[in-house]
Amino acid sequence: MTHEQLKLWRVETMRYTQQQAADAMGVRLTAYQEWERGARFRDNRPVEIDRRTSLACAALAAGIEPL
C-alpha cells in the first residue's frame, strides 16, 4: 500500500478523518499522519506502510471488528 492509497482508503472508502483512522488502527494521530505523508515529521526520513497496516485497512473496510 502506498501513502496515496492509504489516503484514498481513509477518504473515499472509509470516510474517516485522520483522527478516526488513527483510532480505528490503534495508533497515535501523529503516527497515522506520518504514514499518509510518507515521511517522519522530526527528520523527514521516509516511512513505509507495512503489510500489517495494509491488512488492517482491508479488515476495517470489510467490517471486521477487532478481537
Q: What is the pLDDT of residues 1-52, one digit of tens each?
A: 999 999 999 999 999 999 999 999 999 999 999 999 999 999 999 999 999 9
> What's the confidence (pLDDT) of residue 57?
97
> What's the confidence (pLDDT) of residue 60?
96
Where does the pLDDT of residue 65 fall: very low under 50, low under 70, confident under 90, or very high at 90 and above? confident
pTM (global) more than 0.85 = yes
Section 51-64 average pLDDT:
96
Give the HSE-up count for residue 7: Cα atoms under 13 Å, Cβ half-sphere: 9
Alpha helices in the chain (DSSP H): 3-8, 18-25, 29-37, 51-61
